[in-house]
């Protein structure tokens, strides 16, 4: 079976690493000449809205999936005429726009920060008066890793903030005084079978994920599964979906969803019976889903800019290196390490060993 992937970055690469043993082959559509997934499959180098490339891709593969949510809606609509696309165009439409996303949470009774649609500075001034400060102004689309957003702490921060974010449609969110950030990675098959990985504790540095630790019997696991299950059902979702939450007042507030495999699920390659990548492929191709059970205690640390010396990373016990084969660029995700240990005390010690290799940003 041949899978077409929109995007040829590390997520596409890890999908191919998981799917190749299942007898799958891959084609990636990505305009970047150095798209790192091309080591694992065919690289169609073209724009996401280039109909000629899209038609070639559709004719060449059995189904299409994607590795990032900012895929233009027209791309998915065009492809869907010729080939199955999972997750659906509707799931993508919601997940790529923070206003639709938060409105969906609200409709489904899932707690989320107060929010307002912002189309102008006047909208922003009115929303700040209603929601209060501090608050976070975010572009509705195309934001990621803390980009396209601004924390508004005092009245001066509000002045000109809409223009600062490019005068594009935004949402204003109340600032959540969270005690922690967690994510739940879930997978739903074509037949409604749904499985959840354990909740993951995430630490972001400057808006970018730095460390994920898989939890054991987290007290909010059942609540998170309930919330995520509502979204999966509503969207008739097929594939892996990641849901990010704030932990606050002993409960959860929804931050955002990603309609794809997710950085906070990378630990599952070594740390779960069946990884998020394999399960995504199982789901979209209609295969039975694999177990999401954890194997040992696991954590994932991102490498930004450059991967530390390979010999030093691999010298750490219980450590698995994933080098994406990308060129150095400050802040770019170029690799990660997964630690899988017998117990939490060992895991914590190993995390410190990997952190000691990471240059401060
Ligand atoms: P996002 O791109 O929405 O995931 O935001 C990136 C990071 O900014 C989050 O992981 C949080 O650490 C922080 N953040 C985003 N929204 C809020 C909020 N409403 N209140 C407090 N912190 C936030």
List, for residues 313-336, the tens digit of each pLDDT value.
Answer: 999 999 999 999 999 999 999 999
Do 357 and 330 contact (CB within 8 A), yes or no?
Answer: no
List, for residues 127-149, the tens digit of each pLDDT value.
Answer: 999 999 999 999 999 887 778 99
Give the right CATH number for 180-355 from 3.40.630.10, 1.10.8.10, 3.40.50.970, 3.30.470.20. 3.30.470.20
**Strand 2-6 and strand 25-29: pairing?**
parallel
Q: State whether the beta carbon of 148 lies less than 6 angstroms from ligand 1.
A: no
List, for residues 334-352, the tens digit of each pLDDT value.
Answer: 999 999 999 999 999 999 9
Confidence band, pLDDT 50/70/90 cuts, at residue 361: low
Residues of the chain with CATH 3.40.50.20: 2-85
pTM of the model: 0.96
Give the right CATH number for 114-174 from 3.30.1490.20, 1.10.599.10, 3.30.1490.190, 3.65.10.10. 3.30.1490.20
How far, in Å, is the centroid of ligand 1 from the Cα of 321? 28
Closest CA to 298 of 326, 318, 327: 318
Q: State whether the beta carbon of 204 lies less than 6 angstroms from ligand 1.
A: yes
Q: State whether the beta carbon of 173 lies less than 6 angstroms from ligand 1.
A: yes
Q: Work out which ligand 1 atom sits closest to the CA atom of 113.
A: 19
Do 137 and 165 contact (CB within 8 A), yes or no?
Answer: yes
Pocket test for ligand 1, best of 116, 136, 242, 248 (most atoms within 8 A of CB): 136
List, for residues 37-77, the tens digit of each pLDDT value.
Answer: 999 999 999 999 999 999 999 999 999 999 998 888 889 98
Residues of the chain with CATH 3.30.470.20: 180-355
Residues of the chain with CATH 3.30.1490.20: 114-174
Q: State whether the beta carbon of 247 lies less than 6 angstroms from ligand 1.
A: no
The fold of 2-85 is Rossmann fold (3.40.50)
Q: State whether the beta carbon of 69 lies less than 6 angstroms from ligand 1.
A: no
């Amino acid at each position: 079976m041949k899978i077409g992937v929109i995007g040829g970055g590390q997520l596409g690469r890890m999908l191919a690493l998981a799917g190749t043993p299942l007898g799958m082959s891959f084609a990636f559509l990505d305009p970047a000449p150095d798209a790192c997934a091309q080591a694992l499959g065919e690289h169609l180098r073209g724009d996401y809205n280039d109909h000629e490339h899209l038609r070639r891709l559709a004719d060449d593969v059995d189904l299409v999936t994607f590795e990032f949510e900012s895929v233009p809606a027209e791309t998915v609509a065009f492809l869907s005429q010729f080939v199955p696309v999972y997750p659906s165009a509707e799931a993508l439409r919601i997940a790529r726009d923070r206003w639709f996303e938060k409105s969906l949470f609200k409709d489904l009774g899932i707690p989320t920060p107060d929010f307002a649609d912002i189309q102008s500075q006047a909208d922003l001034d009115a929303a700040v008066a209603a929601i209060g400060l501090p608050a976070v102004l975010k572009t509705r689309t195309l934001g990621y890793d803390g980009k396209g957003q601004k924390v508004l702490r005092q009245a001066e921060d509000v002045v000109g903030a809409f223009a600062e974010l490019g005068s594009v449609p935004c949402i204003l969110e109340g600032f959540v005084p969270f005690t922690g950030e967690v994510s739940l990675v879930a997978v739903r098959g074509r037949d409604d079978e749904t499985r959840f990985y354990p909740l993951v504790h995430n630490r972001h540095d400057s808006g970018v994920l730095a460390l994920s630790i898989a939890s054991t019997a987290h007290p909010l696991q059942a609540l998170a599964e309930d919330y995520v299950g509502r979204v999966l059902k509503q969207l008739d979702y097929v594939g892996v979906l990641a849901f990010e939450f704030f932990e606050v007042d002993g409960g959860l507030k929804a931050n955002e969803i990603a309609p794809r495999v997710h950085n906070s699920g990378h630990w599952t390659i070594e740390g779960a019976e069946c990884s998020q990548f394999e399960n995504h492929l199982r789901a979209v191709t209609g295969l039975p889903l694999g177990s999401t059970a954890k194997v040992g205690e696991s954590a994932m640390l991102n490498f930004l800019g450059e991967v530390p010396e390979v010999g030093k990373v691999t010298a750490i016990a219980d450590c698995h290196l994933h080098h994406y084969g990308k060129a150095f660029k400050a802040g770019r995700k170029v690799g990660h390490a997964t630690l899988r240990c017998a117990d939490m005390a060992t895991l914590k010690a190993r995390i410190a060993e990997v952190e000691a290799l990471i240059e401060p940003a």
